[in-house]
Chains A and B, each alone.
Chain A
Amino acid sequence: GQQVMQIPQYQHVQEGEDFTTYCNSSTTLSNIQWYKQRPGGHPVFLIQLVKSGEVKKQKRLTFQFGEAKKNSSLHITATQTTDVGTYFCAGNRYSTLTFGKGTMLLVSP
């Protein structure tokens, strides 16, 4: 079956440092979604990428979709304590959406 791998599992940064999480699928995807889950909360949709090589930005967050539509990344510039949480990617293929295990981000002030 379809597998979506995310690395790293966990990252601890100082406030102001950058952060990147990577997502890799075993199969070509029709699109990929990213979600953020705050501690004690539920996953909340951030963005969806559809086109090969697509890059989208949301303030300090930059999302990329690979040319082969099998990998994606989320980069946060100058992290803030409000960025704390777990970031999940979810790969969409045919009518199946598969979540990665997530990357837990901890930001120290």
Chain B
Amino acid sequence: DAGVIQSPRHEVTEMGQEVTLRCKPISGHNSLFWYRQTMMRGLELLIYFNNNVPIDDSGMPEDRFSAKMPNASFSTLKIQPSEPRDSAVYFCASSLLAGVSHNEQFFGPGTRLTVL
């Protein structure tokens, strides 16, 4: 298995532009997570899907952020319009939720986003 795949690995854009980050989870995993990591705020959970359904989006900063999971093998995180304070590394992770307990999370390599 190739692990969790994220694209692009690096994104540099200008303020006001739309940014779309993509994630392919590990086959067979039923949970998918989007995280944002910065030096100041650490690793923050943005949104969590289970069986393609958003379960907890309380971490999504504001309406400029949206996430979708149209099927079990693909998810997107969109920022529109982007702002310089959105600059961060965005990680996607997947896991297998067994009952009410998550097994280990497998993280993708991350997308380093820079908004100028």
Contact = CB atoms under 8 A, between A and B. Distances in A.
B107 interface: yes
B43 A95 contact: no
Interface in A40-63: 41-45, 48
Contact of A95 (B55, B107, B108): B55
Interface of A: prevailing SS = strand
Contacts of B107: 42-44
Contact of A43 (B43, B56, B100, B102): B43
B43 A97 contact: no
Nearest to B55: A95
Given A95-B55, A102-B42, A102-B43, A45 B105 contact: yes
Contact of A42 (B97, B101, B104, B110): B110
A96 interface: yes
A72 to B, nearest CB: 15
B50 interface: yes
- Chain A interface extent, by class: 20 to 34
Contacts of A94: 100
Interface in A19-58: 30-31, 33, 35, 41-45, 48
Interface of B: 33, 35, 42-43, 45, 50, 55-56, 58, 91, 93, 97, 100-110
Interface of A: 1, 30-31, 33, 35, 41-45, 48, 88, 90, 92, 94-99, 101-102
